[in-house]
């Protein structure tokens, strides 16, 4: 590695003297700052040796390491990498850095150090002049350059924008929807009866209501779902959708959400041609957030155009091929792969070399300083500073380089900031050109902390499901608290917890108590919902009352179709993500033959909370595709649609 160019000895001495004068002129006496002042004085009289150190060559032993071989350096290795000879000054600087990061430095002491760092480093703009003394200025340097709030000059109004809250009641209201957003219309349009809804269907189809009211057409279909499975309502929804489709198909006005829901509802009602038309529109709509669903169901509908044995080759199904490329971990990809006789694990995991970049470049740029702080706190076992630093980087640092992202993900996980680690790895997964990863990468994506407590307190539940739920609810942060006031690992509401046992609100932050109460609540929901896990997960997220309404709306729906038909975007994502998590925990926790450890296997055998979908997919994985249960049994029968006929729905 090349050397780090720094100031000459005389320049550094002059800057240190300038900083010392500024410190004196700021009326901060050394007697008042006591120990802190002595550290600064010690650093000042060590400036000569510091300057010499700054001119030494910076040699990084291994700037990049394979993911499977990565480890953080020890403190001795870190000091050797930095080329620091004065360890006493280094220790003082490291202590100041920890106190700065944790916010334990008094204001006057922080102001003094800020003034000293500003005067010492004011001529350096591109890189940091590293030395044992300057090490204490790294947090200040990064806060000034990388963490400072960005002001684009735009003044944001704190006043909420007002809009017309008058209910939509008559034809004139439909004719005056210019400037109304989708959410505003849905809030204004609340028909209380099927008769009122059908009257508004006539308004929506009126010739005087043009394409500029397409938002109203989408909002009508949203509200009309509440009156399903009534045949007359479904007929009017189709008519309104035809008008919406004609208005938006060749423009950028169509909403993915509207087309997708129409396509899935059409599958439920056996209208497969309409379903394919709507799903194709959803796939090409702007601003896509649920493309994996459109691709999966479009790929499934291709089966009606080909013989079943021909779909084994995934090259005959471009929708599922794209699904596998863009969403390699999703439950839709897993199911599509098994239908085609392909093991998603074997496609995704391989003996590849993924590099972790500890340092990048020949100088102490901002990324190298960020990584150095992680290394420093890990080496010094400063858990508090490491946690705070991880959260700060997670909030303020946006990394695009894949090799750097791997290091940051490892550092976040080391700080037990699993949410930061998972978010960084997800960004890596989306931007990486490679579609094959080392198994350690997947294990980082699906971490398993709190094993002893979760296995002990999740009696009667499948530990894989509990892990999948906790990963989605809190990302294993026992101090997590949502905007809705849900708390702890399993995100329990205080009122819900008090209905299960005598418990104080602060007890929900205790991992053992939270998992015990959360497991008890899950068992209660399982009993109420006939042990159908997908429904239980929907009730856990959105409440039992909402689930009951949705079941009446789509009676007899296939589990997978019902999960994608859930009206709340948060809840339908929640259910499918926990299915995905459970599957991958099952694959990563077992050996090559599908065997689990004795304790985990015993817990799974005693469980009555296993997902039929995930359980079947795991059995297919271990059997090599020779399982007696076909993956086709998990799908809606798009050939034989008697189960979804209107006759059965009306019954």
Question: Catalytic site residues?
Answer: 473
- The answer to whether 462 touches 609, Cβ cutoff 8 Å, is yes
Q: What is the DSSP letter of 634?
A: G
Distance CA 229, CA 233 (A): 8
Distance CA 155, CA 365 (A): 32
- The 3-class SS string of 431-443 reads HCCCCCECHHHHH
- The answer to whether 602 touches 526, Cβ cutoff 8 Å, is no
Identify the three-state secondary structure at position 63.
coil
Distance CA 369, CA 123 (A): 18
Q: Where are the alpha helices (DSSP H) in 103-137?
A: 107-121
Task: Please give the angle made by the CA atoms of 119, 120 and 121, to the nearest 5 degrees.
Answer: 100
- The answer to whether 101 touches 139, Cβ cutoff 8 Å, is yes
Distance CA 432, CA 17 (A): 49
Token reading at 124:
């350096």
Distance CA 407, CA 203 (A): 58
Distance CA 489, CA 476 (A): 6
Distance CA 366, CA 208 (A): 60
Q: What is the DSSP letter of 4?
A: P
Distance CA 590, CA 597 (A): 8
Token reading at 9:
């000895």
DSSP per residue, 221-236: HHHHGGGTT-HHHHHH
Cis status of the peptide bond prior to 229, with omega within 30 of 0: yes
Give the count of alpha carbons within 13 A of 570, CB side only: 7
Q: How far is CA 317 from CA 267, 293, 300, 302, 617, in A?
A: 19, 15, 9, 7, 20
Token reading at 422:
């998972």
Q: Which residues contact 382 (CB under 8 A, 6 or more apart)?
A: 98, 376
End-to-end CA distance of the chain: 76
Distance CA 131, CA 84 (A): 7
Token reading at 564:
């994608």
- The answer to whether 219 touches 189, Cβ cutoff 8 Å, is yes
**Residue 487, strand partner residues:** 481, 492
């Amino acid at each position: 590695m090349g050397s780090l160019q720094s100031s000459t000895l005389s320049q550094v001495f002059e800057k240190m003297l300038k900083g010392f004068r500024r410190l004196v002129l700021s009326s901060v006496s050394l007697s008042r700052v006591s120990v802190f002042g002595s550290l600064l004085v010690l650093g000042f009289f060590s400036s000569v040796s510091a300057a010499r150190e700054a001119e030494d060559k910076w040699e990084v032993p291994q700037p990049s390491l394979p993911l499977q071989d990565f480890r953080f350096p020890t403190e001795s290795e870190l000091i050797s990498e930095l080329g620091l000879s004065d360890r006493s000054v280094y220790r003082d600087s490291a202590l100041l850095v920890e106190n700065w990061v944790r916010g334990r430095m008094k204001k006057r002491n922080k102001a003094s150090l800020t003034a000293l760092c500003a005067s010492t480093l004011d001529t350096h703009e591109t890189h940091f002049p590293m030395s044992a003394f300057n090490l204490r200025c790294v947090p200040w340097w990064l806060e000034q350059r990388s963490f400072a709030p960005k002001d684009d000059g735009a003044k944001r109004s704190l006043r909420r924008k007002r809009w017309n809250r008058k209910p939509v009641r008559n034809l004139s209201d439909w004719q005056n929807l210019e400037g109304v957003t989708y959410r505003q219309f849905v809030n204004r349009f609340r028909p209380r009866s099927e008769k009122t809804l059908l009257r508004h269907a006539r308004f929506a189809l009126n010739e005087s209501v043009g394409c500029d009211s397409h938002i109203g057409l989408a909002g009508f279909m949203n509200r009309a779902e509440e009156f399903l499975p009534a045949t007359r309502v479904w007929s009017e929804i189709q008519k309104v959708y035809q008008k919406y489709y004609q208005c938006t198909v060749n423009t950028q006005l169509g909403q993915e959400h509207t087309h997708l829901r129409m396509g899935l509802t059409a599958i439920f009602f056996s209208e497969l041609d309409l379903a394919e038309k709507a799903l194709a529109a959803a796939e090409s709509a702007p601003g896509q957030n649920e493309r994996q669903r459109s691709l999966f169901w479009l790929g499934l509908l291709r089966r009606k155009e080909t013989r079943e044995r021909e779909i084994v080759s995934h090259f005959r199904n471009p929708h599922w091929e794209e699904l596998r490329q863009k969403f390699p971990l999703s439950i839709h990809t897993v199911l599509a792969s098994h239908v085609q006789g392909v093991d998603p694990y074997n496609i995704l995991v391989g003996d590849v070399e993924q590099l972790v970049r500890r340092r990048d470049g020949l100088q102490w740029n901002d990324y190298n300083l960020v990584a150095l702080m992680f290394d420093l706190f890990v080496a010094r076992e400063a858990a508090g500073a490491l946690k705070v630093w991880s959260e700060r980087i997670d909030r303020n640092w946006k990394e695009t380089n894949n090799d750097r992202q791997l290091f940051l993900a490892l550092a976040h996980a080391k700080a037990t900031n699993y949410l930061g680690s998972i978010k960084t790895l997800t960004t890596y997964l989306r931007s990486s050109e490679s579609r094959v990863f080392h198994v350690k990468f997947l294990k980082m994506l699906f971490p398993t902390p709190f094993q002893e407590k979760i296995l002990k307190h999740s009696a009667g539940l499948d530990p894989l499901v509990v892990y999948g739920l906790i990963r989605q609810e809190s990302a294993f942060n026992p101090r997590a608290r949502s905007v809705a006031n849900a708390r702890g690992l399993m995100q329990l509401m205080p009122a819900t917890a008090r209905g299960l046992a005598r418990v104080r609100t602060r007890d929900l932050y205790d991992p053992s108590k939270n998992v015990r109460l959360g497991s008890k609540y899950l068992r209660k929901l399982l009993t109420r919902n006939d042990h159908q896990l997908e429904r239980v997960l929907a009730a856990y997220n959105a409440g039992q009352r909402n689930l009951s309404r949705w079941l009446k709306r789509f009676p007899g729906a296939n589990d997978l179709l019902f999960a994608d038909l859930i009206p709340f975007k948060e809840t339908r994502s929640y259910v499918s993500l926990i299915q995905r998590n459970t599957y991958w925990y099952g694959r990563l926790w077992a050996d090559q033959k599908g065997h689990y450890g004795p304790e985990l296997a015993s817990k799974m055998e005693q469980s009555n909370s296993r997902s039929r979908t995930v359980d079947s997919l795991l059995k297919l994985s271990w059997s090599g595709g020779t399982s007696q249960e076909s993956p086709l049994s998990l799908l809606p029968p798009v050939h034989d649609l008697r189960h979804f006929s209107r006759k059965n729905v009306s019954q």
